[in-house]
Structure 1
């Protein structure tokens, strides 16, 4: 635990991680509450609930690179202030109107979403050195896993006691309050070794938006696609086993494996390639296709979960070494957008595979995606790096 003691000894890192863990719980609760509000209170269809969730998610994804670039150019306070105002106005009205106005307000609020994920990750990177960044990012990734498990449970439980209108209003106002707290605390987004924050300018995108960065985003997107596909396939498998009461337990075991894997990876004293972890994630996902009941599914899920959090942590850590400080806000925004895209791809891919061949096909498709992208990207990068010296030599040869 020495690595974590060193990280948590820093008040800046400790405060940012705590703030990030707390504000992400209402973030994940809000997603499921939107669907419940449409179906239960507005008496809409599940299709309408899905459309609303999709539009809100797409708008949040689109806002990531844009809001991240504003963080690089203008700093936290000037970027977050409009998000606070727009979010407060939209979510003070949206829970009390019909479906179409709710759709419009949710879309506008999504485009001006407080960039919580970007701010927390950028602040963690800024507050750490390259030597202790891995355990700090591992803790950040584990906190996301925990919030992802706790948030929907809290939201559904609250909606079963009070009306979804009031619960949705309260949860979204909590996120607005989180934005205000971020504005007040204003955690540094650049290290002390970087240029003076008041005079710092954004790094040109062309200096870092290259093949290596794009490959990292593709790898992170594939990792989330494997996880999203697996999550949907768990539901199909449990239904096929006629053991619906064990679904929560199996998912919890899978999530516990991710927490253990994330903490173990953070304690290591060496870097592991994102693509190697992605290929390993694909390999350990495959055995779940051969599960014969909820117990074997939980055991194989526990093993598969060990590589979930480490893969995402490694991609963020590797990105922090590829992108200079003046461009990390936008880069993390693109990274977050890639994760959102992967979530949609994974669910769709698994749904098609399950319809074609049942839950074994769903897990098989997710495993093939992880293995294919994890092994394919390093090969493409190697071929590109071999060709580039030859291309670079051509002008000098022509000049000669």
Structure 2
């Protein structure tokens, strides 16, 4: 298995930008849990915590594609440095406002203002595409590596965030996340050797959106439903573990979900599967929908952790095949924006899922809240079938 990934790091500069990005990846995984636990603890409301988290992610969904377009037009380093500074200052204001006697709207405003944080994952994937042009097998392994690194960070990040927020101070998780984001983003931007070149096409047609490319919109909408799985899972798990008297276990439980995904992602990256990428995508989304349903049967934190680890086995392959699809559909000059757009769908879904999950917990209880990710995973499968299923394939064949 390791031979597949060893070939990736033989490329000059690949190891340097991968390691440099790790602190920023970890910070991204800490932000959500840190904000939810911080607001819920200091303001005594899971509904408010979910809404604040949703508002921040919605703002990222709006600014993310714009930041991605700027990266394609001006280069990664020129955009990453100022965007990171603005995001860090705004996140610091959020940490202050959460514990101060200020109106709740300040939390929404501060979190929204922090949305300029650049998408390190999309920029790293764009670098792999430049390093291995015309090498689909290596780009598949690179996408798998990127997703597995994301999942490993999401395994460690929530645990660290929950521990800091519950044992040090409610704002501690967010403060540490800010420091990691700044360090990682600036270190990544400093790796100019592997930075993708600015393409003339991105400058000549600045208003053309990758959403106009057939297939990109379908992936984005599928990601919207998938994001609802992740967003609701985060809020519901924090509430459920607290209802059982184990609030610090939330990070561990969410880490198991990411751990299962990381293991599956690393193995998936070594496979050379027959068939087309759209077929792989459909199979992975279907597996995610099926494996998410047993979560409703969880009776304690140990059963929940086991079921979420199993459910996570399908999430990384789904993300990997989706990014492979984006690479096949979007031209190199728009790749960062294209990947950011699909991620935007994910973030909008996370935003909606966090809000809906918090509302369900308030109305029907923490355990019932797990119906939200179960239903959302089924919706993701329906959308994927509508976009890439047999009926959609026949329509495209007739159109050509």
Q: 2:136 aligns with which of 130, 133, 142?
A: 130
- 2:256 touches 2:308 (CA, 8 Å); kept in 1? yes
1:108 matched to 2:120:
no
Segments of 5+ residues of structure 1 without an aligned counterpart are 191-195, 390-400
- 1:259 touches 1:309 (CA, 8 Å); kept in 2? yes
- 1:290-369 alignment, distance < 5 Å: 300-347=307-354, 355=364, 358=368, 361=371, 365-369=375-379
Structure 1: distance between partners of 2:90 and 2:296: 44
Structure 1: distance between partners of 2:162 and 2:250: 16
Residue in structure 2 matched with residue 180 of structure 1 by the alignment: 186
Per the alignment, in what secondary structure is the counterpart of residue 157 of structure 1?
A: helix
Structure 2: distance between partners of 1:370 and 1:252: 22
Residue in structure 2 matched with residue 24 of structure 1 by the alignment: 25
- 1:208 touches 1:323 (CA, 8 Å); kept in 2? no
Structure 1: distance between partners of 2:252 and 2:209: 47
- 1:64 touches 1:337 (CA, 8 Å); kept in 2? yes
Residues 166, 280 of structure 1: alpha-carbon distance in 2 compared, 3 angstrom cutoff: closer
- 1:224 touches 1:342 (CA, 8 Å); kept in 2? yes
Instruction: Return the offset for 1:115.
Output: 2.8
Residues 227, 156 of structure 1: alpha-carbon distance in 2 compared, 3 angstrom cutoff: closer
- 1:223 touches 1:311 (CA, 8 Å); kept in 2? no
Instruction: Return the offset for 1:386.
Output: 3.6
Aligned length: 381
- 2:57 touches 2:351 (CA, 8 Å); kept in 1? no
Residues 187, 121 of structure 1: alpha-carbon distance in 2 compared, 3 angstrom cutoff: farther
Structure 2: distance between partners of 1:352 and 1:159: 24
Residue in structure 2 matched with residue 52 of structure 1 by the alignment: 52
CA offsets per residue over residues 7-39 of structure 1, 9 Å max, x none? 233343323332333212122323333344445
Residues 208, 231 of structure 1: alpha-carbon distance in 2 compared, 3 angstrom cutoff: closer
> 171-180 or 350-359, which moves further after superposition?
350-359
Residue in structure 2 matched with residue 373 of structure 1 by the alignment: 383
**Which of 1 and 2 has greater Rg?**
1
Residues 15, 244 of structure 1: alpha-carbon distance in 2 compared, 3 angstrom cutoff: same
- 2:159 touches 2:251 (CA, 8 Å); kept in 1? no
Structure 1: distance between partners of 2:70 and 2:19: 24
Residue in structure 2 matched with residue 396 of structure 1 by the alignment: none
Instruction: Return the offset for 1:291.
Output: 6.2
Structure 1: distance between partners of 2:356 and 2:154: 22
> 362-371 or 277-286, which moves further after superposition?
362-371
Per the alignment, in what secondary structure is the counterpart of residue 263 of structure 2?
A: helix
Q: 1:151 aligns with which of 133, 136, 157?
A: 157
Per the alignment, in what secondary structure is the counterpart of residue 272 of structure 2?
A: coil
Give the aligned CA root-mean-square deviation in angstroms: 3.7
Residue in structure 1 matched with residue 288 of structure 2 by the alignment: 281
- 2:210 touches 2:337 (CA, 8 Å); kept in 1? no
> 304-313 or 272-281, which moves further after superposition?
272-281
Structure 2: distance between partners of 1:208 and 1:172: 31
Q: 1:213 aligns with which of 216, 219, 226?
A: 216
Structure 2: distance between partners of 1:359 and 1:260: 27
Residues 292, 51 of structure 1: alpha-carbon distance in 2 compared, 3 angstrom cutoff: closer
Structure 2: distance between partners of 1:235 and 1:87: 25
Instruction: Return the offset for 1:94.
Output: 4.8
Instruction: Return the offset for 1:223.
Output: 3.0
Structure 2: distance between partners of 1:302 and 1:258: 8
Q: TM-score, normalised by structure 1?
A: 0.79
> 227-236 or 299-308, which moves further after superposition?
227-236
Residues 278, 5 of structure 1: alpha-carbon distance in 2 compared, 3 angstrom cutoff: same
Residue in structure 2 matched with residue 393 of structure 1 by the alignment: none
- 2:155 touches 2:256 (CA, 8 Å); kept in 1? no
